[in-house]
Structures are given as structure tokens and as C-alpha cells.
Structure 1
């Protein structure tokens, strides 16, 4: 019988990083309504992913990794810049003449950020945090994602506390907007 290890938080985040990279490629290659829908999927995944990382992963890294404060502060700075760029792209829309150029710049920044996390933060978490805690963190990450905003809100802050206080009310608003948008599209296609 093979030993099946439960998915830990690092495994989950690595999967999401791969989904994000794939979505950047798909958005770049798409056109029209498909491009808009794929971009909305990308926005949602990035917003939920970063919010949950800020609530669950970064606080653990701060307390368990040598130099954790500096490491996490660097990642939070990158995340804040990405939130602003993503918000600007969202407001701009996929049909804007500068969209593809700005999307490409954002993709490069987000991929560089993910690489920093994978090579620095995630490796050190695996070395310093017990495996059973990393598995429990995966559950906490999924719970945080369930109440996370579905759009970037650069003005809401990047700390775990800011995400826990502002995230759920903003998430409700985002999810209502998403539902109304989707309903409107499905009822206007007739």
C-alpha cells in the first residue's frame, strides 16, 4: 500500500501558483468575451489567494522563519503593488489598448513574486513548521479563501488583521456584484 500524504498548505499554494501562471497565458491568448471571462477568473483567484496568504501563511512565516519579518514585509510590498496593478487593469477592461502590455508586466511581477515565495518562504516553512501543522494550515487557508474578497482592494490593507476585519464584508459585496454581473450576462444573451 502506498503512503498518501495529506495536502499541506505549501502543496495547495504551489497548485494555485500553477493555476495563476496558466491563467495569465490563457488570458493573453484569448479574445473577446472569453478573454474577459478568463481575466475575471484570474482576478478572483489572485484576490482570494493573496488575501488567504496574508491571513494564514505570512503570520506563520513571521514567527517561524529566521528573518521572517523582513521576508514577509518584502512579500507584502509586492502583493500590495500587484493588487493596485490588478485593480487598475480590472477598471481598465480587457478591450483597452494598453491592457495586454500592462497584463504582461503584471504577469512578470506576479510570477517573480511567486518564485520568491516558493524559493524562500515555502521552503523555510517546510523546514521549520511541523508537517501536521502545515496540513492544518491548508484547511485554514481554504476557510480564509471562502470568506476572501473576489477582487483586489488595495486600500483595505495587507495585514492579517485587516483581512480578517475588512475581508468578509468586502467579500460579501464582491460576491453579490459577481452574482448580479453573471445574472445580467445570462439574461441579456437572449
Structure 2
């Protein structure tokens, strides 16, 4: 891990990821062909899956004390709804009619969710949590992301316990599927 990453706190890490997510939404929409669109969408799916899983395990439990149960419960409901839509989009495929319209609605919901976190949850965490703890939380988020599933699994639930129990075995399966998919794509005739 770089020195800059070691100094980064959890809020800065999540804000950076929110910007990456927004950039990937733009890349999917701007893609000129199906393959380019599929690759950008796969990157978006992966980032959203690991990001939300890590938030559910590390950030939301810590934010309950600072931002309150109502704020965290609302974010968890949004994330659960997003998992279902993302799973539907993944199954639908980027070239299916109707994908773009559903994707646009999904983007609006995800950006609204990120805005809620940035305006309600993150300020409370920053105000009420020691800087060293916020830096350690960034490390915990990175660790959770390293073993998180790479696609949405809405039936797994959104509790930290469900993520910790189901996450690693599902992540192994997801990462194997990703490796096979990537190998096939790199070995097309």
C-alpha cells in the first residue's frame, strides 16, 4: 500500500470511489460499440458490488452511532434496491432493448444514494470519529473489498453478518467466473 493510501481516510476513499462510479456510468453511456459498453458495464458492476459490500460491513455499522439508525436504514434500503436492479441489468445485457432506459433510471438512483451518503452519513462520521479511526476504517474497507463478491447478490442480504458469511465464498465463485470470462474474451478468434 502506498504512503498516500495509508494516509487516506475512509470518507476520502469512498468519495473517490463515488467519482469513479459516476465516471463509469458516463463511460457506459458514451460507449461506441457493444464490446466497449460491456467492458465499462462490467467494471461498473464490479466496483458497485465491492463498494456496497464494504460499506455494509464497515461504514454503515460505524455510522449508526454518528448519523443515526434512520439514516443508515434508509441507505441500506437504497443499496438493497440497487442490488436488485443491478442484478436485473446484468442479466438483461447491455445490447438488449430497454437496457439504456433502465440503466438511466438506475444511474439516477445510485447518484442520489451517493449524495445522501455524502450529505448525511459522511459528515456525521467525520465530525464524530477520530482521524486515526477513519484511516483504519479505510484499511478495513479495502480488506472487505478484497474478499467481496464482484457482482450483486441481492438474495444474500445487506447485513454485515450476511456479507461476512456469504461474501467470501460467493466472491471466490464470482472471481473464477470473471477469470474465465476474461480469458475467453482475450482468446477470441
Question: Is 1:169 equivalent to 2:161 in the alignment?
Answer: no
Alpha-carbon separation, structure 2, partners of 1:123 and 1:104 = 28
Q: Which runs of 4+ in 1 moved over 4 A?
A: none
Question: Is 1:148 equivalent to 2:139 in the alignment?
Answer: no
Alpha-carbon separation, structure 2, partners of 1:124 and 1:46 = 23
Q: Which runs of 5+ in 2 are unaligned?
A: none
| Cα drift, residue 185 of structure 1 | 1.4
Alpha-carbon separation, structure 1, partners of 2:69 and 2:165 = 22
The CA RMSD measured in Å over matched residues stands at: 1.1
Q: Which runs of 5+ in 1 are unaligned?
A: none
Is the partner of 1:95 in helix, strand or coil?
A: coil
Residue equivalent to 1:118: 118
Is the partner of 1:170 in helix, strand or coil?
A: helix
CA displacement 1:37-90 (0-9 Å, x = unmatched)? 00000000000000000000000011x215x21111100000000000000000
TM alignment of 1:26-37, pairs within 5 A: 26-30=27-31, 31-37=33-39
Alpha-carbon separation, structure 2, partners of 1:72 and 1:158 = 12
| Cα drift, residue 121 of structure 1 | 0.2
Alpha-carbon separation, structure 1, partners of 2:148 and 2:85 = 19
Which of these residues, 50, 62, 74, is aligned with residue 48 of structure 1?
Answer: 50
CA displacement 1:118-153 (0-9 Å, x = unmatched)? 000001000001111000000000000000000000
Residue equivalent to 1:14: 15
Alpha-carbon separation, structure 2, partners of 1:29 and 1:77 = 29
| TM-score of the superposed pair, with normalisation by structure 1 | 0.95
CA displacement 1:5-26 (0-9 Å, x = unmatched)? 9110000000000000010011
| TM-score of the superposed pair, with normalisation by structure 2 | 0.95
Alpha-carbon separation, structure 2, partners of 1:159 and 1:61 = 14
Alpha-carbon separation, structure 2, partners of 1:36 and 1:126 = 37
